[in-house]
Amino acid sequence: MKQYRRSILSALLCFFVVIALNFLLPRLLPGDPVAYLTGFAEEDMSPEKYESYRSALHLDESQGKQFLYYLRSLADGTLGYSYKKEAVVSALIGEKLGYTLQITLPAVLLATVLGLFWGLDCAYKRGSVGDKLSSALNIVGNAVPTFVLALAFIVVFCFKKRLFPYTGLNSDGVTPGTAAYVLDRLKHLFLPVTTLVAATLPSRFLLMRNTAAGILDEKYVLYARERGLSKRKIKRAYVLPNIAQPFITMVGMSVSTCVGGSLVIENIFSIPGMGRLLTDAIYSLDYPLMQGILFVTTAMMVLAIILSDTVCILVDPKRRAGGRA
């Protein structure tokens, strides 16, 4: 339990650091904080407009009160206001978050399941030709950047083979709500999801393969083999329970990795998700929107880590007993 509490505290500390940086950076950077918090240059604003922004942002009050107003915007779910887009930041993010999750959630599920069973199978057959080829392939794949994989898939499957579309989420002229619309959406999502799976699968495979290989060398597994138990029985009764914790942790880490990778992939495939929204915010210097996206993505990652650690506690009696079982 002590390790669990330490992990939770570390995750929450990182989250609060992001919150503090979101508040402090625009106020500590050289220049006028009004420009950073609105995205407008000071020379582009009239004196009246400048004073109205300064009052709306509470910059005429103390730093302590400004921080309380900032925390209130987080607590009430608005996450601030985008003066460039003239909209509440949470509304802008909420509009795009669903598109990002359409890529992230399938990728997390597929990369996790494939990494588990592929790694477990290669661990049981370690030293074989299939294990060596799989390990070499994933070691190389783990070093390839996500954007390189995306561009390679576009060149091969979009331009040369012309099997899949390479931009957007739906083709023009497809009626929403129909079966054709759903199939068209799946066709557009195939390459982005496949790219994200290919980018995150190698690390999952290597973790599962090496963890399971170490367990297969334990004496209780060797005794089970000597007793003539089948490979399936050994996997189910001896290996899977002992790789439960690293597997659950892997699921939590997959969420954070896939969220970050999705932001890159969305720009390459022209998908109007949070990645595109973040790019627009950077180019237009929309700092409130950038801060909101950073807050939401960090919150998703921290929540995934906390949930995975909590599940580890629930499935492991030793950790519930503080390691004394």
Kindly list the domain boundaries of the chain, sorted by start residue.
2-89, 94-320
266-320 pLDDT tens trace: 888 988 888 888 888 888 778 888 888 888 888 888 888 888 888 877 776 665 5
- Residue 169's pLDDT is what? 87
89-103 pLDDT tens trace: 999 999 998 998 999
Highest mean pLDDT among 39-48, 161-170, 191-200: 191-200
Question: Is 50 exceeded by the pLDDT of residue 325?
Answer: no
Question: Is 70 exceeded by the pLDDT of residue 4?
Answer: no
- Residue 151's pLDDT is what? 92
Average pLDDT rounded to a whole number, residues 135-157: 92
The CA angle 8-12-18, to the nearest 5 degrees, is 150
Question: Where is average pLDDT lowest: 66-75, 115-124, 244-253?
Answer: 244-253
Helix (H) or strand (E) holding 20: helix 2-28
Average pLDDT rounded to a whole number, residues 177-190: 91
* Rg for the chain, CA atoms, rounded: 24
Question: Where is average pLDDT lowest: 67-81, 141-155, 254-268?
Answer: 254-268
Distinct helix (H) and strand (E) counts, the chain: 14, 2
5-24 pLDDT tens trace: 777 788 788 888 888 888 88
Question: Is 80 exceeded by the pLDDT of residue 39?
Answer: no
- Residue 322's pLDDT is what? 55
Percent of the chain with pLDDT over 90: 22
Q: Please check whether residue 296 is in contact with residue 22, taking contact to mean a CB–CB distance below 8 angstroms.
A: no
Q: Chain-wide mean pLDDT for the chain? A: 85
The CATH number given to 94-320 is 1.10.3720.10
Question: Is 50 exceeded by the pLDDT of residue 31?
Answer: yes
User: How many residues make up the chain in this entry?
Assistant: 325
- Residue 318's pLDDT is what? 61
- Residue 193's pLDDT is what? 93
Name the more confident of 45 and 95.
95
Name the more confident of 25 and 153.
153
- Residue 135's pLDDT is what? 93
Per-residue pLDDT band at 148 (split at 50, 70, 90): very high
What b/e sequence results for 87-101 when a residue is b if at least 16 CB atoms lie within 10 Å of its CB, and e otherwise? ebbbebbeebbebbb
- Residue 315's pLDDT is what? 73
Q: How many angstroms separate the Cα of 165 from the Cα of each of 45, 101, 140, 205, 296?
A: 43, 19, 27, 29, 29
For residues 293 and 89, what is the distance between their CA atoms, to the nearest angstrom?
A: 8
Q: How many angstroms separate the Cα of 207 from the Cα of each of 115, 123, 149?
A: 8, 10, 21
For residues 258 and 105, what is the distance between their CA atoms, to the nearest angstrom?
A: 8
For residue 175, give the DSSP letter: P
Question: Where is average pLDDT lowest: 83-87, 188-192, 236-240?
Answer: 236-240
In 3-state terms, the chain is what percent helix, strand and coil (to 5)? 75, 0, 20
For residues 123 and 226, what is the distance between their CA atoms, to the nearest angstrom?
A: 18
Question: Is 60 exceeded by the pLDDT of residue 196?
Answer: yes
